[in-house]
C-alpha cells in the first residue's frame, strides 16, 4: 500500500482522525446494519460475563467496548484503548448518552505497547483493528500478555470469502462501491480505498489462527460471518502461562 511517504502508524492515525465523525454511519451502511450483530457475537466468543475486567484494543468509536459493557454490567469494567484521539472523542460522546457509562473508560494508547501489567484482564477484544497495526504479531503478543491465563483474545475483522461467484462480487463491491460511499458520506474516498487495500493484504481467517498460535494462544479457531466476509478469530491463553 502507498502511505504517501509516511509510516503506516502515522498514516492510519491521520486517516482515522479524518473520518471519525462519519465512522459509525459508514460501518452501518457498508455492513447493511449487520455490524451490530457481529459485535454481539464477538462479545459472546470472548466470554464476557458479569463482573469481568475486559480490554477492547483499537476501540475506535467505542461501539464494541459498549457492547462489552452490557455483558459485564456494573460489577465489571471495560477499558477501550485507541491511538486516534478524534475516534476516542466520538466514543466518549457516545458513552455519555448510554444508560450507565461509569464502568467503561476510554484511554489513548499504543497497541504495540499496551500500558498494562501482565495478566490484567479476563478477556481482550479487537474489532477491525489488527489489519491497521504496523506489526501484527507484536500486537497479538501484547494482547496475549495482558489477558489472564485461560482468558480469550478475540478479533473481529474483514475476512476472505471462498465461494467463487460471491468472492468476486464481494471484492468488486469493496474496491469500487465502498470508496464511492466514503466519498459521498464521509468525503474521504482515500480512507475507504485504504480499507479495501488493507483487507486485501490482511491474512485470511485460516492464516490468522496460525498466527494466533505462533503468538502463544492455544485452541485458535475462527467463525465465518456473512459468508466469510467477516470472521471472528478466537485464541485462549494457556493456563500454565503466568
Domain edges within the chain: 8-158+203-236
Higher pLDDT, 79 or 28: 79
Superfamily assignment of 8-158+203-236 in CATH?
Vaccinia Virus protein VP39 (3.40.50.150)
Grouping H, G, I as helix, E, B as strand and the rest as coil, residue 6 is: coil
This prediction has a pTM of: 0.88
Closest CA to 198 of 131, 135, 133: 131
Angle among Cα 138, 13, 137 to the nearest 5 degrees reads 10
- For 218-235, what is each residue's pLDDT tens digit? 999 999 998 888 899 999
Q: In what order do the strands lie in the sheet with 230-236?
A: 104-108, 77-82, 53-57, 121-127, 147-158, 230-236, 218-225
- For 56-95, what is each residue's pLDDT tens digit? 999 999 999 999 999 999 999 999 999 999 999 999 999 9
Is residue 135 within a helix (H) or strand (E), and if so which, with residue range? none
Phi, psi of 109 (to 5 degrees): -170, 175
Amino acid at each position: 500500500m502507498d502511505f504517501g511517504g509516511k509510516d503506516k502508524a502515522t498514516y492510519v492515525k491521520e486517516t482515522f482522525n479524518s473520518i471519525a465523525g462519519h465512522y459509525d454511519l459508514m460501518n452501518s451502511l457498508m455492513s447493511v446494519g449487520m455490524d451490530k450483530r457481529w459485535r454481539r457475537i464477538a462479545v459472546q466468543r470472548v466470554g464476557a460475563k458479569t463482573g469481568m475486567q475486559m480490554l477492547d484494543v483499537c476501540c475506535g468509536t467505542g461501539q464494541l467496548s459498549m457492547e462489552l459493557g452490557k455483558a459485564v454490567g456494573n460489577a465489571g469494567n471495560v477499558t477501550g484503548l485507541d491511538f486516534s484521539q478524534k475516534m476516542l472523542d466520538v466514543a466518549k460522546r457516545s458513552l455519555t448518552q448510554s444508560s450507565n457509562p461509569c464502568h467503561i473508560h476510554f484511554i489513548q494508547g499504543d497497541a504495540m505497547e499496551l500500558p498494562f501489567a501482565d495478566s490484567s484482564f479476563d478477556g481482550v477484544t479487537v474489532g477491525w483493528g489488527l489489519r491497521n497495526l504496523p506489526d501484527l504479531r507484536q500486537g497479538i503478543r501484547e494482547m496475549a500478555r495482558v489477558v489472564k491465563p485461560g482468558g480469550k483474545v478475540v478479533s473481529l475483522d474483514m475476512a476472505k470469502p471462498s465461494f467463487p461467484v460471491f468472492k468476486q462480487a464481494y471484492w468488486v463491491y469493496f474496491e469500487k462501491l465502498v470508496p464511492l460511499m466514503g466519498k459521498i458520506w464521509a468525503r474521504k474516498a482515500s480512507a475507504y480505498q485504504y480499507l479495501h487495500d488493507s483487507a486485501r493484504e490482511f491474512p485470511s481467517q485460516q492464516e490468522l489462527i496460525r498466527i494466533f498460535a505462533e503468538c502463544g494462544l492455544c485452541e485458535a479457531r475462527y467463525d465465518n460471518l456473512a459468508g466469510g466476509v467477516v470472521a471472528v478469530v478466537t485464541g485462549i491463553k494457556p493456563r500454565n502461562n503466568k
